[in-house]
Structure 1
Amino acid sequence: MLIPPSVLTIQGLPIHLLADYAQWLRERVEQGQGTQVVTLNAEMVMQAAQNPSLKAVIQQAELVVPDGVGVTWYLKLRRRGTYHAPGIDLVSQVLAHLQGKAVFFLGGAPEVGERAAQYWRQRNPNLVMAGVRHGYFSPAEEAEIVAQLQRQQPRLILVALGVPRQEIWIQKHRHICPQSVWVGVGGSLDIWAGVKVRAPLWMRRLYLEWAFRLYQEPWRWRRMLALPQFAGRVLLPALWGGGE
Protein backbone atom coordinates (compact mmCIF):
# COMPACT_ATOMS: atom_id res chain seq x y z
CA MET A 1 0.00 0.00 0.00
CA LEU A 2 1.55 3.26 -1.14
CA ILE A 3 1.67 6.07 1.39
CA PRO A 4 0.20 9.26 -0.13
CA PRO A 5 2.78 12.04 -0.36
CA SER A 6 2.39 15.16 1.72
CA VAL A 7 1.66 18.31 -0.27
CA LEU A 8 2.89 21.89 -0.17
CA THR A 9 1.59 24.57 -2.52
CA ILE A 10 3.50 27.11 -4.56
CA GLN A 11 1.51 29.76 -6.40
CA GLY A 12 -1.54 27.54 -6.21
CA LEU A 13 0.34 24.50 -7.55
CA PRO A 14 1.02 21.32 -5.57
CA ILE A 15 4.48 20.01 -4.75
CA HIS A 16 4.45 16.44 -3.50
CA LEU A 17 6.99 15.60 -0.81
CA LEU A 18 8.41 12.08 -0.63
CA ALA A 19 11.50 10.56 0.93
CA ASP A 20 12.07 8.40 -2.18
CA TYR A 21 10.35 9.56 -5.36
CA ALA A 22 11.83 6.80 -7.52
CA GLN A 23 10.65 3.98 -5.25
CA TRP A 24 7.16 5.47 -5.05
CA LEU A 25 7.01 5.76 -8.83
CA ARG A 26 8.36 2.25 -9.38
CA GLU A 27 5.58 0.89 -7.20
CA ARG A 28 2.99 2.84 -9.21
CA VAL A 29 4.37 1.26 -12.39
CA GLU A 30 4.38 -2.23 -10.89
CA GLN A 31 0.86 -1.92 -9.52
CA GLY A 32 -0.60 -0.39 -12.66
CA GLN A 33 -1.81 2.76 -10.93
CA GLY A 34 -2.44 5.43 -13.53
CA THR A 35 -0.26 8.46 -12.84
CA GLN A 36 0.73 11.71 -14.48
CA VAL A 37 4.10 13.01 -13.34
CA VAL A 38 5.01 16.70 -13.65
CA THR A 39 8.60 17.79 -13.08
CA LEU A 40 8.11 21.29 -11.72
CA ASN A 41 10.63 24.09 -12.09
CA ALA A 42 10.52 27.87 -11.76
CA GLU A 43 9.87 28.42 -15.45
CA MET A 44 6.85 26.13 -15.36
CA VAL A 45 5.50 27.86 -12.26
CA MET A 46 5.62 31.19 -14.08
CA GLN A 47 4.10 29.70 -17.23
CA ALA A 48 1.23 28.26 -15.23
CA ALA A 49 0.45 31.72 -13.86
CA GLN A 50 -0.30 32.81 -17.44
CA ASN A 51 -1.66 29.52 -18.83
CA PRO A 52 -4.83 28.23 -17.14
CA SER A 53 -4.67 24.94 -19.08
CA LEU A 54 -1.18 24.17 -17.80
CA LYS A 55 -2.13 25.20 -14.27
CA ALA A 56 -5.12 22.84 -14.29
CA VAL A 57 -2.97 19.94 -15.52
CA ILE A 58 -0.40 20.46 -12.76
CA GLN A 59 -3.11 20.72 -10.11
CA GLN A 60 -4.60 17.40 -11.25
CA ALA A 61 -1.34 15.45 -11.56
CA GLU A 62 -0.81 12.58 -9.13
CA LEU A 63 2.87 13.40 -8.69
CA VAL A 64 4.48 16.84 -8.96
CA VAL A 65 8.19 16.68 -8.14
CA PRO A 66 10.58 19.55 -7.32
CA ASP A 67 12.76 19.42 -10.42
CA GLY A 68 14.29 22.89 -10.61
CA VAL A 69 16.55 24.69 -8.18
CA GLY A 70 14.02 27.49 -7.68
CA VAL A 71 11.41 25.08 -6.37
CA THR A 72 14.03 23.37 -4.19
CA TRP A 73 15.04 26.71 -2.66
CA TYR A 74 11.39 27.52 -2.04
CA LEU A 75 10.95 24.32 -0.03
CA LYS A 76 14.07 25.12 1.99
CA LEU A 77 12.80 28.62 2.73
CA ARG A 78 9.51 27.13 3.85
CA ARG A 79 11.54 24.89 6.19
CA ARG A 80 10.39 21.69 4.55
CA GLY A 81 13.88 20.26 4.09
CA THR A 82 15.82 19.47 0.94
CA TYR A 83 13.76 17.94 -1.83
CA HIS A 84 15.28 17.82 -5.30
CA ALA A 85 14.21 15.31 -7.94
CA PRO A 86 15.47 16.19 -11.43
CA GLY A 87 13.18 14.49 -13.91
CA ILE A 88 15.98 12.83 -15.86
CA ASP A 89 17.37 11.25 -12.67
CA LEU A 90 13.95 10.14 -11.48
CA VAL A 91 13.04 8.46 -14.76
CA SER A 92 16.52 6.93 -15.08
CA GLN A 93 16.11 5.27 -11.67
CA VAL A 94 12.81 3.78 -12.81
CA LEU A 95 14.09 2.61 -16.22
CA ALA A 96 17.19 1.02 -14.72
CA HIS A 97 15.08 -1.42 -12.68
CA LEU A 98 12.09 -1.91 -14.99
CA GLN A 99 11.48 -5.58 -15.80
CA GLY A 100 8.54 -7.13 -17.58
CA LYS A 101 6.75 -3.80 -18.01
CA ALA A 102 6.78 -2.09 -21.39
CA VAL A 103 7.94 1.48 -21.96
CA PHE A 104 7.10 3.82 -24.85
CA PHE A 105 9.20 6.82 -25.97
CA LEU A 106 7.33 9.67 -27.66
CA GLY A 107 8.96 12.90 -28.77
CA GLY A 108 12.24 14.45 -29.75
CA ALA A 109 13.65 14.84 -33.23
CA PRO A 110 13.64 11.93 -35.72
CA GLU A 111 16.15 9.23 -34.70
CA VAL A 112 16.67 10.75 -31.24
CA GLY A 113 14.11 8.46 -29.65
CA GLU A 114 15.66 5.39 -31.27
CA ARG A 115 19.11 6.35 -30.03
CA ALA A 116 17.74 6.98 -26.54
CA ALA A 117 16.00 3.61 -26.62
CA GLN A 118 19.26 1.91 -27.64
CA TYR A 119 21.02 3.65 -24.76
CA TRP A 120 18.57 2.09 -22.34
CA ARG A 121 18.55 -1.33 -23.99
CA GLN A 122 22.30 -1.49 -23.34
CA ARG A 123 21.87 -0.52 -19.68
CA ASN A 124 18.85 -2.68 -18.97
CA PRO A 125 18.66 -5.73 -21.27
CA ASN A 126 15.38 -6.68 -19.57
CA LEU A 127 13.70 -3.47 -20.73
CA VAL A 128 10.64 -4.11 -22.92
CA MET A 129 10.40 -1.39 -25.57
CA ALA A 130 6.80 -1.06 -26.74
CA GLY A 131 7.53 1.64 -29.30
CA VAL A 132 9.37 4.80 -30.25
CA ARG A 133 7.84 7.74 -32.13
CA HIS A 134 9.36 11.14 -32.78
CA GLY A 135 7.60 14.36 -31.83
CA TYR A 136 7.18 15.87 -35.29
CA PHE A 137 3.93 14.13 -36.12
CA SER A 138 1.02 15.25 -38.28
CA PRO A 139 -2.61 14.97 -37.11
CA ALA A 140 -2.92 11.70 -39.02
CA GLU A 141 0.27 10.37 -37.45
CA GLU A 142 -0.93 11.48 -34.03
CA ALA A 143 -4.04 9.33 -34.50
CA GLU A 144 -1.76 6.39 -35.33
CA ILE A 145 0.28 7.01 -32.17
CA VAL A 146 -2.83 7.14 -30.02
CA ALA A 147 -4.10 3.90 -31.59
CA GLN A 148 -0.73 2.22 -30.99
CA LEU A 149 -0.68 3.26 -27.35
CA GLN A 150 -4.24 2.10 -26.86
CA ARG A 151 -3.42 -1.24 -28.43
CA GLN A 152 -0.16 -1.91 -26.60
CA GLN A 153 -0.96 -0.43 -23.17
CA PRO A 154 2.67 0.24 -22.17
CA ARG A 155 3.07 0.63 -18.45
CA LEU A 156 5.47 3.61 -18.67
CA ILE A 157 5.04 6.35 -21.30
CA LEU A 158 7.70 9.05 -21.62
CA VAL A 159 6.63 12.15 -23.55
CA ALA A 160 9.23 14.67 -24.75
CA LEU A 161 7.28 17.42 -26.49
CA GLY A 162 8.43 20.39 -24.43
CA VAL A 163 6.56 22.41 -21.81
CA PRO A 164 3.61 22.97 -21.79
CA ARG A 165 2.75 20.85 -24.81
CA GLN A 166 3.80 17.54 -23.26
CA GLU A 167 1.87 18.09 -20.02
CA ILE A 168 -1.31 19.07 -21.85
CA TRP A 169 -0.90 16.22 -24.37
CA ILE A 170 -0.58 13.69 -21.57
CA GLN A 171 -3.63 14.99 -19.73
CA LYS A 172 -5.66 14.81 -22.94
CA HIS A 173 -4.69 11.26 -23.83
CA ARG A 174 -3.93 9.47 -20.56
CA HIS A 175 -7.41 7.92 -20.45
CA ILE A 176 -6.45 5.58 -23.32
CA CYS A 177 -3.90 3.85 -21.05
CA PRO A 178 -5.50 4.11 -17.60
CA GLN A 179 -2.93 1.88 -15.88
CA SER A 180 0.09 3.71 -17.27
CA VAL A 181 2.52 6.11 -15.66
CA TRP A 182 2.97 9.11 -17.96
CA VAL A 183 5.95 11.44 -17.54
CA GLY A 184 6.82 14.64 -19.38
CA VAL A 185 10.58 14.28 -19.83
CA GLY A 186 11.50 17.42 -21.80
CA GLY A 187 15.05 17.16 -23.14
CA SER A 188 15.92 13.86 -21.45
CA LEU A 189 15.79 11.93 -24.74
CA ASP A 190 18.43 14.28 -26.18
CA ILE A 191 20.74 13.54 -23.25
CA TRP A 192 20.27 9.76 -23.48
CA ALA A 193 20.73 9.89 -27.24
CA GLY A 194 24.00 11.79 -26.87
CA VAL A 195 22.71 14.79 -28.80
CA LYS A 196 23.24 17.05 -25.80
CA VAL A 197 25.59 16.88 -22.84
CA ARG A 198 24.40 17.19 -19.28
CA ALA A 199 26.07 19.50 -16.79
CA PRO A 200 29.02 18.04 -14.86
CA LEU A 201 28.15 16.43 -11.55
CA TRP A 202 29.76 19.21 -9.52
CA MET A 203 27.51 21.78 -11.19
CA ARG A 204 24.45 19.65 -10.51
CA ARG A 205 25.40 19.33 -6.86
CA LEU A 206 25.64 23.12 -6.65
CA TYR A 207 22.25 23.48 -8.41
CA LEU A 208 23.92 25.17 -11.40
CA GLU A 209 22.57 22.90 -14.12
CA TRP A 210 20.46 25.78 -15.43
CA ALA A 211 23.63 27.82 -16.03
CA PHE A 212 25.22 25.00 -18.01
CA ARG A 213 22.12 24.72 -20.19
CA LEU A 214 22.23 28.44 -20.84
CA TYR A 215 25.91 28.14 -21.79
CA GLN A 216 25.06 25.34 -24.23
CA GLU A 217 21.95 27.02 -25.60
CA PRO A 218 22.32 30.81 -25.31
CA TRP A 219 19.07 31.27 -27.22
CA ARG A 220 17.33 30.16 -24.02
CA TRP A 221 18.08 33.50 -22.34
CA ARG A 222 14.54 34.77 -22.91
CA ARG A 223 13.14 31.72 -21.13
CA MET A 224 15.59 32.26 -18.28
CA LEU A 225 13.92 35.60 -17.55
CA ALA A 226 11.39 33.51 -15.65
CA LEU A 227 14.03 32.94 -12.94
CA PRO A 228 14.27 36.53 -11.64
CA GLN A 229 10.49 36.80 -11.93
CA PHE A 230 10.16 33.65 -9.83
CA ALA A 231 12.63 35.02 -7.29
CA GLY A 232 10.67 38.25 -6.89
CA ARG A 233 7.22 36.69 -6.78
CA VAL A 234 7.96 33.49 -4.85
CA LEU A 235 11.38 33.31 -3.18
CA LEU A 236 11.57 36.76 -1.60
CA PRO A 237 8.11 36.50 0.05
CA ALA A 238 9.08 33.07 1.36
CA LEU A 239 12.35 34.49 2.69
CA TRP A 240 10.42 37.17 4.54
CA GLY A 241 8.12 34.59 6.06
CA GLY A 242 5.25 35.03 3.60
CA GLY A 243 4.15 32.89 0.72
CA GLU A 244 1.66 30.06 0.65
Structure 2
Amino acid sequence: MDRSRSQFSVLGLPVHILDDYAGWLIERLHQGLGTHVVTLNAEMAMQAEQNPALANVIRSAELVIPDGSGVVLYLRMRGKSAQRFPGIELAESLLQQAGKLPNSEPIFFFGGAPGVTAKAAESWQQKVNRLSISAQHGYLSAGEETELCESLKQMQPKIIFVGLGVPRQEFWIAEHRHLCPQSIWVGVGGSFDIWAGTKDRAPAWFCDNHLEWLYRLYQEPWRWRRMLALPQFALKALGDLRA
Protein backbone atom coordinates (compact mmCIF):
# COMPACT_ATOMS: atom_id res chain seq x y z
CA MET A 1 0.00 0.00 0.00
CA ASP A 2 1.33 3.43 -0.96
CA ARG A 3 1.66 5.52 2.16
CA SER A 4 3.86 8.23 0.69
CA ARG A 5 2.99 11.72 1.89
CA SER A 6 2.36 14.67 -0.41
CA GLN A 7 2.38 18.21 0.99
CA PHE A 8 0.38 21.13 -0.36
CA SER A 9 -0.19 24.69 0.84
CA VAL A 10 -3.49 26.18 2.02
CA LEU A 11 -3.12 29.90 2.77
CA GLY A 12 0.52 29.25 3.58
CA LEU A 13 -0.24 26.28 5.86
CA PRO A 14 0.84 22.72 5.05
CA VAL A 15 -1.71 20.01 4.28
CA HIS A 16 -0.62 16.42 3.75
CA ILE A 17 -2.42 14.02 1.41
CA LEU A 18 -1.98 10.30 2.11
CA ASP A 19 -3.72 7.14 0.96
CA ASP A 20 -3.89 5.85 4.53
CA TYR A 21 -3.45 8.34 7.38
CA ALA A 22 -3.99 5.88 10.21
CA GLY A 23 -1.68 3.29 8.64
CA TRP A 24 1.06 5.92 8.23
CA LEU A 25 0.71 6.84 11.90
CA ILE A 26 0.78 3.23 13.06
CA GLU A 27 4.01 2.75 11.09
CA ARG A 28 5.51 5.76 12.84
CA LEU A 29 4.36 4.32 16.15
CA HIS A 30 6.27 1.11 15.41
CA GLN A 31 9.33 3.18 14.49
CA GLY A 32 9.16 5.20 17.71
CA LEU A 33 8.70 8.45 15.81
CA GLY A 34 6.72 11.02 17.73
CA THR A 35 4.01 12.75 15.72
CA HIS A 36 1.79 15.79 16.22
CA VAL A 37 -1.37 15.58 14.10
CA VAL A 38 -3.29 18.77 13.27
CA THR A 39 -6.80 18.55 11.79
CA LEU A 40 -7.02 21.66 9.64
CA ASN A 41 -10.30 23.34 8.72
CA ALA A 42 -11.22 26.80 7.49
CA GLU A 43 -11.83 28.17 10.98
CA MET A 44 -8.39 27.10 12.19
CA ALA A 45 -6.75 28.45 9.03
CA MET A 46 -8.31 31.87 9.62
CA GLN A 47 -7.26 31.81 13.28
CA ALA A 48 -3.71 31.11 12.13
CA GLU A 49 -3.90 34.18 9.85
CA GLN A 50 -4.34 36.31 12.97
CA ASN A 51 -2.17 34.24 15.30
CA PRO A 52 1.40 33.64 14.09
CA ALA A 53 2.11 31.36 17.06
CA LEU A 54 -0.70 29.03 15.97
CA ALA A 55 0.55 29.13 12.37
CA ASN A 56 4.01 28.08 13.61
CA VAL A 57 2.55 25.16 15.56
CA ILE A 58 0.66 23.97 12.47
CA ARG A 59 3.77 24.26 10.30
CA SER A 60 5.77 22.29 12.87
CA ALA A 61 3.33 19.36 12.98
CA GLU A 62 4.43 16.16 11.27
CA LEU A 63 0.95 15.55 9.86
CA VAL A 64 -1.76 18.07 8.90
CA ILE A 65 -4.92 16.45 7.55
CA PRO A 66 -7.72 18.14 5.54
CA ASP A 67 -10.46 18.06 8.17
CA GLY A 68 -12.73 20.76 6.75
CA SER A 69 -14.67 20.97 3.49
CA GLY A 70 -13.26 24.46 2.85
CA VAL A 71 -9.71 23.12 2.90
CA VAL A 72 -10.63 20.33 0.47
CA LEU A 73 -12.40 22.73 -1.91
CA TYR A 74 -9.39 25.07 -1.76
CA LEU A 75 -7.12 22.22 -2.87
CA ARG A 76 -9.51 21.05 -5.58
CA MET A 77 -9.72 24.56 -7.04
CA ARG A 78 -5.97 24.26 -7.54
CA GLY A 79 -6.24 20.90 -9.25
CA LYS A 80 -5.20 18.81 -6.25
CA SER A 81 -7.01 15.54 -5.64
CA ALA A 82 -8.10 15.65 -2.00
CA GLN A 83 -10.79 14.06 0.12
CA ARG A 84 -12.01 15.38 3.44
CA PHE A 85 -10.89 13.25 6.37
CA PRO A 86 -12.43 14.50 9.65
CA GLY A 87 -10.26 14.26 12.73
CA ILE A 88 -12.86 12.19 14.56
CA GLU A 89 -12.68 9.56 11.81
CA LEU A 90 -8.89 9.48 11.99
CA ALA A 91 -9.09 9.04 15.76
CA GLU A 92 -11.61 6.23 15.42
CA SER A 93 -9.49 4.49 12.79
CA LEU A 94 -6.45 4.74 15.04
CA LEU A 95 -8.37 3.22 17.95
CA GLN A 96 -9.59 0.36 15.79
CA GLN A 97 -6.08 -0.35 14.52
CA ALA A 98 -4.57 -0.04 18.00
CA GLY A 99 -6.94 -2.78 19.13
CA LYS A 100 -5.41 -5.13 16.54
CA LEU A 101 -1.79 -4.61 17.58
CA PRO A 102 -0.01 -7.62 19.17
CA ASN A 103 0.56 -5.68 22.38
CA SER A 104 -2.10 -3.58 24.09
CA GLU A 105 -0.58 -0.13 23.66
CA PRO A 106 -1.64 2.40 26.35
CA ILE A 107 -3.85 5.24 25.12
CA PHE A 108 -4.71 8.49 26.89
CA PHE A 109 -7.73 10.79 26.54
CA PHE A 110 -7.28 14.32 27.89
CA GLY A 111 -9.81 17.13 27.80
CA GLY A 112 -13.56 17.47 27.80
CA ALA A 113 -15.87 17.99 30.74
CA PRO A 114 -15.79 16.00 34.00
CA GLY A 115 -17.41 12.62 33.46
CA VAL A 116 -17.53 12.94 29.69
CA THR A 117 -13.97 11.86 28.92
CA ALA A 118 -14.14 8.82 31.20
CA LYS A 119 -17.42 7.80 29.58
CA ALA A 120 -15.87 8.17 26.12
CA ALA A 121 -12.97 5.92 27.16
CA GLU A 122 -15.37 3.36 28.63
CA SER A 123 -17.40 3.35 25.43
CA TRP A 124 -14.35 2.58 23.32
CA GLN A 125 -13.08 -0.12 25.65
CA GLN A 126 -16.46 -1.84 25.27
CA LYS A 127 -16.26 -1.57 21.48
CA VAL A 128 -12.65 -2.78 21.23
CA ASN A 129 -11.85 -5.13 24.10
CA ARG A 130 -8.07 -5.02 23.78
CA LEU A 131 -7.78 -1.24 24.21
CA SER A 132 -6.17 0.12 27.35
CA ILE A 133 -7.40 3.71 27.80
CA SER A 134 -6.82 6.14 30.65
CA ALA A 135 -8.81 9.38 30.78
CA GLN A 136 -8.58 12.78 32.41
CA HIS A 137 -11.01 15.66 31.94
CA GLY A 138 -9.68 19.09 31.01
CA TYR A 139 -10.88 21.15 33.99
CA LEU A 140 -7.69 21.06 36.05
CA SER A 141 -6.02 23.43 38.49
CA ALA A 142 -2.38 24.30 37.92
CA GLY A 143 -1.35 21.75 40.53
CA GLU A 144 -3.52 19.03 38.98
CA GLU A 145 -2.07 19.73 35.55
CA THR A 146 1.44 19.35 36.97
CA GLU A 147 0.39 15.96 38.36
CA LEU A 148 -1.03 15.04 34.95
CA CYS A 149 2.29 15.84 33.29
CA GLU A 150 4.13 13.62 35.77
CA SER A 151 1.66 10.82 35.09
CA LEU A 152 2.18 11.11 31.34
CA LYS A 153 5.96 10.93 31.79
CA GLN A 154 5.58 7.71 33.76
CA MET A 155 2.85 6.11 31.64
CA GLN A 156 4.27 6.96 28.18
CA PRO A 157 0.98 6.28 26.39
CA LYS A 158 1.52 5.56 22.73
CA ILE A 159 -1.50 7.52 21.48
CA ILE A 160 -2.73 10.70 23.16
CA PHE A 161 -5.96 12.43 22.16
CA VAL A 162 -6.34 16.00 23.41
CA GLY A 163 -9.80 17.56 23.33
CA LEU A 164 -9.40 21.15 24.52
CA GLY A 165 -10.76 22.97 21.46
CA VAL A 166 -8.89 25.03 18.90
CA PRO A 167 -6.35 26.54 19.36
CA ARG A 168 -5.82 25.57 22.97
CA GLN A 169 -5.29 21.87 22.22
CA GLU A 170 -2.71 22.65 19.51
CA PHE A 171 -0.72 24.85 21.87
CA TRP A 172 -1.02 22.30 24.69
CA ILE A 173 0.33 19.50 22.51
CA ALA A 174 3.20 21.63 21.21
CA GLU A 175 4.15 22.56 24.77
CA HIS A 176 3.90 19.08 26.28
CA ARG A 177 4.76 16.57 23.57
CA HIS A 178 8.31 16.35 24.92
CA LEU A 179 6.85 14.42 27.87
CA CYS A 180 6.11 11.47 25.56
CA PRO A 181 8.46 12.00 22.60
CA GLN A 182 7.59 8.73 20.83
CA SER A 183 3.83 9.17 21.03
CA ILE A 184 1.17 10.13 18.51
CA TRP A 185 -0.58 13.31 19.67
CA VAL A 186 -3.88 14.29 18.06
CA GLY A 187 -6.14 17.27 18.78
CA VAL A 188 -9.67 15.88 18.64
CA GLY A 189 -11.86 18.88 19.54
CA GLY A 190 -15.30 17.74 20.72
CA SER A 191 -14.89 14.06 19.85
CA PHE A 192 -15.14 12.96 23.49
CA ASP A 193 -18.65 14.43 23.68
CA ILE A 194 -19.72 12.44 20.63
CA TRP A 195 -18.16 9.19 21.86
CA ALA A 196 -19.73 9.68 25.28
CA GLY A 197 -23.14 10.28 23.68
CA THR A 198 -23.62 13.79 25.11
CA LYS A 199 -23.66 15.27 21.57
CA ASP A 200 -24.53 13.92 18.14
CA ARG A 201 -22.42 14.11 15.04
CA ALA A 202 -24.04 15.63 11.96
CA PRO A 203 -26.12 13.17 9.88
CA ALA A 204 -24.44 11.74 6.78
CA TRP A 205 -26.37 14.05 4.42
CA PHE A 206 -24.88 17.15 6.04
CA CYS A 207 -21.36 15.65 5.93
CA ASP A 208 -21.70 14.50 2.30
CA ASN A 209 -22.86 17.96 1.20
CA HIS A 210 -20.19 19.94 3.08
CA LEU A 211 -22.77 21.27 5.58
CA GLU A 212 -21.52 19.75 8.82
CA TRP A 213 -20.77 23.31 9.99
CA LEU A 214 -24.47 24.16 9.64
CA TYR A 215 -25.55 21.25 11.83
CA ARG A 216 -22.92 22.23 14.38
CA LEU A 217 -24.27 25.78 14.39
CA TYR A 218 -27.77 24.37 14.96
CA GLN A 219 -26.47 22.43 17.97
CA GLU A 220 -24.37 25.31 19.31
CA PRO A 221 -25.83 28.64 18.11
CA TRP A 222 -23.39 30.54 20.31
CA ARG A 223 -20.70 29.59 17.76
CA TRP A 224 -22.09 31.99 15.14
CA ARG A 225 -19.30 34.53 15.59
CA ARG A 226 -16.68 31.83 15.02
CA MET A 227 -18.52 30.70 11.88
CA LEU A 228 -17.81 34.10 10.33
CA ALA A 229 -14.40 32.62 9.57
CA LEU A 230 -15.99 30.51 6.82
CA PRO A 231 -16.90 33.35 4.40
CA GLN A 232 -13.59 35.03 5.28
CA PHE A 233 -11.77 31.86 4.28
CA ALA A 234 -13.75 31.67 1.03
CA LEU A 235 -12.78 35.24 0.12
CA LYS A 236 -9.12 34.54 0.87
CA ALA A 237 -9.28 31.37 -1.22
CA LEU A 238 -10.76 33.22 -4.20
CA GLY A 239 -8.15 35.94 -3.83
CA ASP A 240 -5.37 33.33 -3.90
CA LEU A 241 -6.89 31.72 -6.98
CA ARG A 242 -6.86 35.04 -8.87
CA ALA A 243 -3.33 35.90 -7.79
| TM-score bracket, shorter-length normalisation | over 0.9
Q: Are 1:10 and 2:14 an aligned pair?
A: no
Which of 217, 220, 231 in structure 1 is aligned with 2:220? 217
Q: Are 1:57 and 2:57 an aligned pair?
A: yes
**Residue in 1 aligned with 2:239?**
237
Give the 5 Å matches for 1:1-244: 4-99=4-99, 100-129=104-133, 131-234=134-237, 236-240=238-242, 242=243
Measured against aligned partners, the alpha-carbon deviations of 1:93-143 in whole angstroms (never above 9, x if no partner) come to 1101213211000000000111100110111100012x2111011110110
TM-score by length of 2: 0.95
Contact 1:42 1:70 in 2 (8 A): yes
How much has 1:183 moved relative to structure 2?
0.3
Amino acid paired to 2:24 = W
Give the gaps of 5 or more residues in structure 1.
none
Aligned length: 239
How much has 1:31 moved relative to structure 2?
2.9
Contact 1:159 1:166 in 2 (8 A): yes
Gap change, CA 1:2 and 1:168, over 3 Å in 2: farther
Contact 1:74 1:238 in 2 (8 A): no
1:39 aligned counterpart, secondary structure? strand
Measured against aligned partners, the alpha-carbon deviations of 1:57-104 in whole angstroms (never above 9, x if no partner) come to 000000000000100101111111132110000110110121321100
Contact 1:97 1:124 in 2 (8 A): no
1:182 aligned counterpart, secondary structure? strand
Gap change, CA 1:4 and 1:174, over 3 Å in 2: farther
Contact 2:117 2:192 in 1 (8 A): yes
Give the gaps of 5 or more residues in structure 2.
none
Give, in whole Å, the separation in 2 of the partners of 1:179 and 1:132.
19
1:97 aligned counterpart, secondary structure? helix
Contact 1:77 1:238 in 2 (8 A): no
Amino acid paired to 1:237 = G
TM-score by length of 1: 0.94
Give, in whole Å, the separation in 2 of the partners of 1:97 and 1:41.
25
Contact 1:46 1:226 in 2 (8 A): yes
How much has 1:231 moved relative to structure 2?
0.4
Contact 2:66 2:85 in 1 (8 A): yes
Contact 2:2 2:19 in 1 (8 A): no
How much has 1:20 moved relative to structure 2?
1.6
Amino acid paired to 1:104 = F
Structure 1: 4+ residue segments shifted above 4 A? 1-4
How much has 1:50 moved relative to structure 2?
0.8
Contact 1:13 1:59 in 2 (8 A): yes
Give, in whole Å, the separation in 2 of the partners of 1:47 and 1:23.
29
How much has 1:239 moved relative to structure 2?
4.6
How much has 1:145 moved relative to structure 2?
0.6
